[in-house]
Amino acid sequence: MPLNGVSAAMRERVSQQLKEIERRYDVKVLYACESGSRGWGFASPDSDYDVRFLYVHPLEWYLRVESPRDVIELPIDDELDVSGWEWRKALGLLKGANPTLIEWLDSPVIYQQDEETITAFKAMVPMWFSPLRARWHYYSMAQKNFPGYLQGDEVRLKKYFYVLRPLLAVRWVEAGKGVPPMRFAELLAGSELDAPLRAEIDELLERKQRAGEAEYGPRRP
């Protein structure tokens, strides 16, 4: 049975990919998770897998005069989109209250982690979380996605959630609830919405989870 929507076969494929990354780039993967629709909880059956990871180099790498590249990005195939950030970069992003990094740390799908290191890392999130930065991040995302995705007569179902999710995250932050959860269902459950609107979102979510990734439907008001 799939665990959090990821089959054992896919978990094994991701595990092998991470081992290959460690071998090829001489790094240690400290954390690897699912981001995107599978992490947010509104994946379609044919959604791809967005694997994000944090990694550390051997000590010698950090003694260089010039700063080497601090990201690893693999070519995207039909199923896997894999990329990661170097550990020092991640520390700087956490200090800057980067909402994307904070989301990764709350992913319901974890492929690999150094338990002690990541537990300590997650414990720092409340210290650095910035409601102002988070609100701006999510509001800007919704503002950007709305005209780009929801203005045609026909709309891809998943694009509704690219606007709904950040808007619910904004409401979460404005309500003083702290870090918005990554899972859409938790955001929805923690939002006070009119019953008709909530019912429409529930129906749209159920339809999205059954539909293909590219399925369209008539634009809703």
Please write the tens of the pLDDT for every residue from 133-148.
Answer: 999 999 999 988 776 5
- Lowest model confidence (mean pLDDT) among 51-60, 150-159, 172-181: 150-159
For the segment 85-132, what is each residue's pLDDT rounded down to a tens digit? Answer: 999 999 999 999 999 999 999 999 999 999 999 999 999 999 999 999
pLDDT at 212: 65
pLDDT at 218: 54
Q: Which residue has the higher pLDDT, 193 or 151?
A: 193
Residue 217 has pLDDT above 70, yes or no: no
8-128 has CATH 3.30.460 classification: yes
d(CA 66, CA 129): 30
Q: Residue holding tokens 């808007």? A: 167
pLDDT at 109: 96
Q: Which residue has the higher pLDDT, 58 or 205?
A: 58
Residue 17 has pLDDT above 90, yes or no: yes
Tell me whether residue 13 is exposed, middle or buried, using C-beta atoms within 10 angstroms of its C-beta: 0 to 12, 13 to 18, 19 or more.
middle
pLDDT at 1: 41
Where do the CATH 3.30.460 domains begin and end in the chain? 8-128
d(CA 170, CA 166): 6
